[in-house]
A and B are shown apart, each in its own frame.
Chain A
């Protein structure tokens, strides 16, 4: 009886009608993705090959890129919702997370495995060379110099950025013009490392000695004004490393300041009040109360900047190209792969970088597991 009821609409139109509507549906389901694909593919070819004015090209690119992704989501969801209910429920989550997972797999997960594999192969990836690349990455003179320099960046870059950030956030907490000061310190965060490179190269500009030569670099002008001699600051190892580190401190202090400042504002006022009533000096209050209270934030800020200085590339590349004893790991990676064409050595250097961040990765995972039931 029941079955009859269900079958009724079908039998009304006849089996042929049912077949026609289903076929129509299936055809549409196939047709829509194909049209989508053709439209997107034509867009890609147009962008790659066409010679229209650049402004038009840029606009088309933006619309095509953003619209294309939205369209892909809409179409794949549309297909999934055409399926029987049970299948929709089962497959829909993958419409949502699938693209992200696919891209993460293609761009990060699988490359890690492939890079690991390539690190045991020769320059072109044809022959197995065992640990030779790692011997190079860990013992070669060039790499040892890069490690030493990265250590300088890690230690001095991080401590000065965090130190200045802390000092400034403590001081701005006690003034009315907090936002103005903060905006100034924070501004370099919007500037690219290449731009910062130009800015600081100009500061360090050196013209040499000779009659009638005016130093136009600020640092040399100051040194001359104080009665010293002008110097080619970026050519004197090992000090040139510190002149480069100054740039990173200039860029990263704002980041440390913003995060630490909000942590300091979170320190309970009663706690500080109580300490002051008990006769604690400001310095005691800082070391005994504020520092312990913001410990966790200090740690995360420091590790963020630490990882940043480990991967540092742009500043060295633009300012010195890694010459005169300023090479760093990430620059050596770039040189090996893109200048000398040695994929094996470059891969082993990348793996060394990865191993260096593994402690932080484990810490993050542990934090994540503790933070909340998923």
Chain B
């Protein structure tokens, strides 16, 4: 009896494990398919994108043209027609929608009424689509004119996009807009944690209060200031803006970390006659690397993916990736070969950073979630 019980227990365990993994695999598929769709589409030929769904690059069963039937000249396409080798008579509309024969073939009219051509199709397995191309990427990267054929076979010409330039701009914005707030916040966190000065508690309380202030509150006055100072569209302007909006969280996180460092290390350094500046640069910064890294990834992803701040302070003067991509959605909403390639270019770097440094990122998130 004991053995049967443990046996059924084991069975139940296997069953529940299958169930849990099954549900998770399903959820994960739903989660990843949208991105896979964009990735696959970005490598497809433009005309294929418009005529078939991206999922058709995977092996599937579909009607494949196996031959053509030419109707005799003089056939009246407006009335019912008889087709050589096929029983019965069919109208143009029927043939246009596709007629299935008894032996599993499908007849489908090709083009308009005047062609008098019918394609013969058979249901067959189709393997992986090998007609993949990198053209879409080169089209969006180098600002050249883009020519492609749309679903109706028309040639379309478009002004290309300079995503390479936007990519460089994004780097020029994101790297300093990550390091500057960290540097300023680390100094401030040290000041709040280890130095005494009047108003220290009140000032830090204000920092905590600022954690949840929506940045919309600042946009109207800051745009005014930037217009006066001629800072609109400059790197300095957007670095400072990102620094301002990122500082409350940065100071708060780094304060929590730095104030938790063991007191005696600092005191012995003081006794040795080190100045605050030396202690900070030689001792505190190296000790705080984990916290600095967590916030750095957090801030980098935030700045890289930011749209609103870049739109307001950089506009069309200095285009970053998100703004260029959003403009593309507006101007070329149907040019999926360009949009998908563009979207993927904008995602590459953050995804790489994210997967390489996921551990730090998660740690930063956990610490940051206190901000409510």
Contact = CB atoms under 8 A, between A and B. Distances in A.
Contacts of B343: 195, 198-199
B1 interface: no
A23 interface: no
Given A184-B32, A192-B347, A65 B54 contact: no
A218 B209 contact: no
Contact of A203 (B37, B190, B321): B37
B109 to A, nearest CB: 10
B206 interface: yes
B286 interface: no
Contacts of A363: 372
B350 A191 contact: yes
Nearest to B354: A190
A61 B172 contact: yes
Interface in B156-177: 165, 168-169, 171-172, 175-176
Contact of B28 (A185, A203, A212, A297): A185
A361 B354 contact: no
A122 interface: no
A193 to B, nearest CB: 6
A193 B276 contact: no
A202 B339 contact: yes
Contacts of B347: 190-192, 195
Nearest to B152: A212
A353 B236 CA distance: 28
* SS of A interface (majority): helix
A311 B37 CA distance: 29
B216 A109 contact: no
A304 interface: yes
Interface in A88-142: 90, 92-97, 99-101, 103-104, 106-112, 114-115, 118
Nearest to A373: B201
Given A44-B236, A62-B176, A66-B175, A364 B208 contact: yes
Contacts of B28: 181, 184-185
B24 interface: yes
A115 B322 contact: no
A13 to B, nearest CB: 27
A262 B305 CA distance: 26
B304 interface: yes
Contacts of A297: 369
A190 B20 CA distance: 26
A66 B169 contact: no
B336 interface: yes
Contact of B346 (A66, A103, A181, A195): A195
A90 B276 CA distance: 12
A6 to B, nearest CB: 21
Contacts of B221: 110-111, 114-115, 118
B52 A214 contact: yes
Contact-residue bracket for chain A: 35 or more
A107 B206 contact: no
Interface string A201-231: 1110100000110111110010000000000
Interface stretch (A24-32, A151-159, A170-178, A271-279): A170-178
Contacts of B350: 190-192
B241 interface: yes
Nearest to B353: A190
A101 B24 CA distance: 47
A111 B217 contact: yes
A79 B239 CA distance: 26
Contacts of A334: 308
Contacts of A100: 184-185, 187-188, 247, 251
Interface in A56-87: 57-58, 61-62, 65-66, 69-70, 73-74, 77, 81
B180 A66 contact: yes
Contacts of A66: 175-176, 179-180, 183
Interface in B281-328: 301, 304-308, 312, 321-322, 325-326
A354 B213 CA distance: 6
Contacts of A347: 220
B214 A354 contact: yes
A54 B165 contact: yes
A213 to B, nearest CB: 8
A214 B51 contact: yes
Nearest to A117: B221
B49 A57 contact: no
Contacts of B225: 106
A69 B55 CA distance: 50
A184 B217 CA distance: 35
A138 B308 CA distance: 24
B250 to A, nearest CB: 9
B67 to A, nearest CB: 20
B351 A216 contact: no
B269 to A, nearest CB: 15
A42 to B, nearest CB: 13
Nearest to B29: A184
B27 A61 contact: no
Interface string B22-40: 0110011001111101100
B219 interface: yes
Interface string B191-218: 1100111001101111111111111111
Given A187-B32, A192-B322, A195-B346, A108 B369 contact: no
A286 interface: no
Interface in A318-372: 318, 330, 333-334, 337-338, 343, 346-347, 349-351, 353-354, 357, 360-361, 363-365, 367-368
User: What 5 A-B pairs have minimum CB-CB distances, sorted nearest first?
Assistant: A107-B244, A96-B191, A192-B305, A65-B176, A100-B188
17 contacts: A61-B172, A65-B176, A92-B195, A96-B280, A104-B248, A111-B218, A112-B217, A175-B20, A187-B351, A187-B354, A189-B301, A199-B38, A214-B51, A253-B31, A357-B212, A357-B214, A365-B205
Interface of A: 44, 47-48, 54-55, 57-58, 61-62, 65-66, 69-70, 73-74, 77, 81, 90, 92-97, 99-101, 103-104, 106-112, 114-115, 118, 164, 168, 171-172, 174-175, 177, 181, 183-195, 197-203, 205, 211-212, 214-218, 221, 250, 253, 255, 258-259, 262, 297, 300-301, 303-304, 307, 310-311, 313-314, 317-318, 330, 333-334, 337-338, 343, 346-347, 349-351, 353-354, 357, 360-361, 363-365, 367-368, 374
Given A192-B325, A364-B208, 15 more contacts: A61-B176, A62-B172, A92-B277, A103-B243, A175-B17, A187-B351, A190-B301, A205-B336, A216-B52, A218-B34, A307-B214, A314-B308, A347-B220, A353-B214, A353-B216
